[in-house]
Amino acid sequence: MTQRRVAITGLGLVSPYGGGLDDFFARLCRGESAIRQLVTGDVPRPLSMPFVSCLDFDADGTLGRPLAIMMDRFAQLAMAATFSAWDDAGLARTTDGENRDSWGCAWGTSLGGTLAFERGYREMWLNGRSRLPPSSVVIGMHNAANAHISIQLGLGGISMSHAVACASASIAIGEAFRRVRSGEATVMLTGGSDTPQAYGVAAAWEALRVLAPGDADSAPRACRPFSTNRQGLVLGEGSAALVLEDWEHARARGARIHAELVGYGTSCDHNHLVRPSAEGQVRALNNTLADAGLGTAEIDYVNAHGTATAEGDPIEISALKTVFGEHAGEVAVSATKSMHGHLLGAAGAIEAIATVMALREQTAPPTAHLDDIDPACAGVDHVTTASARPLRAALSNSFAFGGSNAVLAFRAVER
């Protein structure tokens, strides 16, 4: 079977700023941070850390109570982002007799329904309850988000979840991409969601000493990728979804095509659980370029993994310099995590949206708070204020704990 072109016809997210897609991208371009200080009342030690929360998200209002009550927050966020992307694609939520037997869902989440299980532990260990609701099983399961999505949209093809830590969503998007490109699926709904505010999760991250410190005043500037004074990453909850569609199917129904997804490559560092390796990242980048049939001179923007850890940022820049060689100084690079935080299993999805919007709007969003570039991170064209420029093709990097690397390649649509 000949390879199909893959159109991105729908984008949707639960924005940490509370607005829609265009508002999200406009705020990124203004360098506006969504990071705030999270303070909890947890016992024995409350959490206090810079974090990104979707404070305006109203699950009952958005989804209806009967649907919302059968979901953990990661699935609620997933469903809301999905509906938004589906509406954006101009597709009907009901099948109305349309055959969607080949349409599927590939969803990324590193934590799944962790909050549901944590609630169960609290009920038993703290509140002395001896039993848990039977629905906890289907609320907590990792594939709850994609299962609900497939049910709600009548998708009869594959429905699966991908748990690959910080690369979960990029791998979900890539696997969905392959199914549309091969002709196996006409439409794939993909993306990711995560809720790392679970007490046991956030406290464990804190113990790893990679989280940026902060207080109510300093939290918005807490995440400073590539900066000399960077102090670590900022976790966040959220969800983003994309509709991938067979190019001809999209054209035939007159759908708006935001951008084209043209390549996906992966690799594993295979040497350490947390220390990234430039060599492994280089292989993922080169695999993606080869898959996309793109040369380095055609890549005008890279949305970096850029988490703002001491160790990770220079390694990523080193990998980019190896791959781009003499073009490295010309490629625009930014880490939008400086504003929307690190969404773990949803990171690849929200960053794919930022990358697609950059191509659509021909504007590279900046790395916020990058006043003083670390010499160890120099050598690429760091975007420090949003700039309109011709962007033909772009990459989005996701490099996970465990050494799993995934890179997506996108191309702008001629207008």
Partner 1 sequence: MESIELIREFLKDRMAIDPEKVVPEAVLAELGVDSLSMLELIFEFEDRFKIDVPADSEPPKIVGEMVTLMDSLIAASQQS
Catalytic residue numbers read 166, 305, 342
Q: What are phi and psi of 373, to 5 degrees?
A: -70, 130
List phi, psi (to 5°) of 148: -60, -40
- Judged by CB under 8 A, the residue of 2, 43, 44, 66 near partner 1 is 66
What does the alpha-carbon distance between residue 15 and residue 54 come to, in Å, rounded to a whole number? 7
Closer residue to partner 1 (CB): 18 or 64: 64
By beta-carbon proximity to partner 1, the closer residue of 65 and 275 is 65
Rule CB under 8 A: say whether 390 interacts with partner 1.
no
Residue closer to partner 1, measured from CB, 83 or 401: 83
HSE, side-chain direction, 13 A CA sphere, residue 338: 31
Q: Which of 18, 19, 39, 65 binds partner 1 (CB under 8 A)?
A: 65
Choices 63-71, 93-101, 232-240, 401-409; region in contact with partner 1 by CB under 8 A? 63-71
Start-to-end CA distance of the chain, whole Å, equals 29
Tally of residues, the chain: 415
Query: What's the token pair of residue 199?
Result: 């007490």
Contact between 69 and partner 1 by CB under 8 A: the answer reads yes
Nearest-approach distance from CB 144 to partner 1, in angstroms:
13
Report the residue number, 41 or 134, with the smaller CB distance to partner 1. 134
Residue 127: both structure tokens together? 């509140």
Structure tokens at 120: 């169960």
User: Residue 66 CB, nearest distance to partner 1 (Å)?
Assistant: 5
DSSP secondary structure letters along 199-249:
HHHHHHHHHTT-BPP--TTTGGG---TTBTT---B-BB-EEEEEEEEEHHH
* 8 Å CB contact between 363 and 387: yes
CA distance 104 to 324: 35
Binding mask 208-247 for partner 1 (x = CB under 8 A): ----------------------------------------
Least distance in angstroms from the C-beta of 60 to partner 1: 11
Give the whole-angstrom CA distance, residue 112 versus residue 196. 10
Interaction of residue 325 with partner 1, rule CB under 8 A: no
The interface with partner 1 within residues 120-149 (CB under 8 A) comprises 131, 133-135, 138
Q: How many residues bind partner 1 (CB under 8 A)?
A: 10
Nearest to 153 by CA among 91, 102, 108: 91
Q: In the complex with partner 1, which residue's Cβ is closer, 138 or 163?
A: 138
Sites of contact with partner 1 (CB under 8 A): 64-66, 69-70, 131, 133-135, 138
